[in-house]
Amino acid sequence: MMEADFVIVGSGSAGSAMAARLSEDGKHSVLVLEFGGSDAGPFIQMPGALSYPMNMPIYDWGFQSEPEPHLGNRRLATPRGKVLGGSSSINGMVYVRGHARDYDHWAESGATGWSYADVLPYFKRMEHWHDSGHGGDPDWRGKGGPLHVTRGKRDNPLFHAFVEAGKQAGFEPTADYNGEKQEGFGPMEQTVWKGRRWSAANAYLKPALKRQNLDLVRCMAQRVIIEDGRATGVEIVRGGKTEVVKARREVILAASSINTPKLLMLSGIGPATELREHGIEVVADRPGVGKNLQDHLEVYIQQASIKPITLYKYWNLFGKAYVGAQWLFTKTGVGASNQFESAAFLRSAPGVDYPDIQYHFLPIAVRYDGKAAAEGHGFQAHVGPMRSPSRGEVTLRSADPNEAPKIVFNYMSHEKDWADFRHCVRLTREIFSQKAFDPYRGKEIQPGDDVQSDAAIDDFIREHAESAYHPCGTAKMGRASDPMAVVDPECRVIGVGGLRVADSSIFPRITNGNLNGPSILVGEKASDHILGRQPLAPENAEPWINPRWETSDR
């Protein structure tokens, strides 16, 4: 029988970080259970190829939402990484910490010890931030961590036009949205190093696997074994055989906000009535398991470019071959960046104290899945609100571990969602109409000039809104007295000994921006809790809040 002090389920953003940190001092044995295969190969390692892996069944679990009632009953893709490095190996490589106030909100809602002052030292510990000479806040950033964070070259003039247009519209610039000032237009950051995707597997897991006390087991986790109220191991299937991996100290679930609640429920931890319906014996009645599902939704606003300077020039067989070859041999060129090189974080209205809208800007007009090829040269902004009041759930279809769970996001279920999205569409048009875009602006490709009224914009959103692939919140962290909390502020599953959850499932509320950074943070901080270490000393750095926030949106 395989056994170790710590058994981690999942080699993703948080799992890889914990594998490295828990095995670091050599005192503990650690086993990582991962169902997915190797992350080798250009589709994953080449940043410019990012639209491929999340559409490849070999790398992606292939989950889909149920028909979404407020989006014309469309089923939305819900990619999760089924590969070494988890979703950090198939994501868009955008690096965002989230806003300081996000974490203060976590702490206020019961996740004591997770305020911004508490998490900032962990962000610094995990980062190796590369100062590109274009400004930034070195005092707020980390220098010696395993996670390389860089910026794209921003060679394309459109990246600068976007930032300039934001200023012309009266918004703030920011030199470092991961530093003191998130609000504003500025350069976007990426987890790319020396032209390669810098996933959690590359940053943490692979270097740590050289240690004697860390091992990786390729298998399918079926459920957590719980004896007398304590987790003692994980039942797995490997090579067609069912085995048990024993955990001497703890089992830690880091299997994603979709697979973690599924595993908890299969193990008898969750809403008792739902578990009984599937004939699963209730170990701990935690009604919050699988609930509180949140995500970011976005639309792509696309504009034609009258100058042939966009990435569309590579959108053909010869162009792709050229980009691929250049990357393969030199790790440079278009393929060495995710092409998200300018960004903005804005507030939607006066009275909103910190940003609640995010922009990714891209110098090509194309869909995320690479399907609808652009009709020519163009550029686009991905835009969406950050703090939707809509909540969904992940539930079991059956007690069969091989069956995908049922995912209902319940997107756009509040009137506020619609008002916020309409504002995002109109705001983007305002930005694209600024003088900075005059030399480049052609006709509006999407939504199109005829889409102006609230009803027409709503139809566009219903038909075209896409997930930004940031699911979280399905095993919320909170006070032990909170009936909807699943884990306490040390990531311990409430009501079960020897079991923790540490991944994006535990977010009480979704953070501002992309979730890879915050997920790695959870793995970093959870490691200290698991090892019984004193958490890093809090840092009282005050984030920039717009002095005009009460009276203006800019």
Match domain 153-187+297-385+413-464 to its CATH number in 3.30.1780.10, 3.20.20.10, 3.30.410.40, 3.40.50.360: 3.30.410.40
On the CB side of 451, how many CA atoms lie within 13 Å of its CA?
A: 21
Amino acid 131: pLDDT: 83
Q: What is the pLDDT of residue 397?
A: 98
63-75 pLDDT per residue, tens: 999 999 999 999 9
441-487: per-residue pLDDT in tens? Answer: 999 999 999 999 999 999 999 999 999 999 999 999 999 999 999 99
| Residue 450 counted as an annotated binding residue | no
The predicted-structure confidence for 478-507, as pLDDT tens digits, reads as follows 999 999 999 999 999 999 999 999 999 999
Contact of 424 with 412, CB cutoff 8 Å = no
Section 183-196 average pLDDT: 98
Please tell me whether 23 is known to bind a ligand.
yes
The whole-number pLDDT of residue 371 equals 60
Are 409 and 65 in contact, with CB atoms under 8 Å apart? yes
Reported as a single tens digit per residue, the pLDDT across 235-254 is: 999 999 999 999 999 999 99
Was 160 annotated as part of a binding site?
no
Amino acid type, 428 = T
Residue 19 assigned as binding residue: yes
Tens of pLDDT along 332-389? 999 999 999 999 999 999 999 999 999 999 999 987 665 655 679 999 999 999 999 9
92 annotated to bind ligand? yes
Q: Which CATH superfamily is domain 3-41+200-293+472-530 in?
A: FAD/NAD(P)-binding domain (3.50.50.60)
The model carries a pTM of 0.98
For the chain, domain boundaries: 3-41+200-293+472-530, 153-187+297-385+413-464
E strands, 278-399, are 284-285, 297-305, 342-346, 357-362, 378-385, 393-395
475 is in an annotated binding site: no
Cα–Cα distance for residue pair 504/201, rounded to 1 Å: 17
What values do phi and psi take at 290, rounded to 5? Answer: 90, -15
Give the single-character DSSP code of 365. -
Q: Residue 45: what are its φ and ψ, rounded to 5°?
A: -75, -20
Catalytic sites, residue numbers: 470
pLDDT recorded at residue 133: 75
188 in a known ligand binding site: no
* 10 annotated to a ligand binding site: yes
Per-residue pLDDT of 334-347, as tens digits, reads 999 999 999 999 99
Q: Is residue 18 part of an annotated ligand binding site?
A: yes
Judge if 3-41+200-293+472-530 and 153-187+297-385+413-464 fold alike in CATH terms.
no
Q: Is 400 annotated as a binding residue?
A: no
- The HSE-up count of residue 245 (CA atoms within 13 Å, CB side) is 29
137-146 pLDDT, tens digit per residue, is 999 999 999 9
Q: How far is CA 192 from the centre of its chain?
A: 15
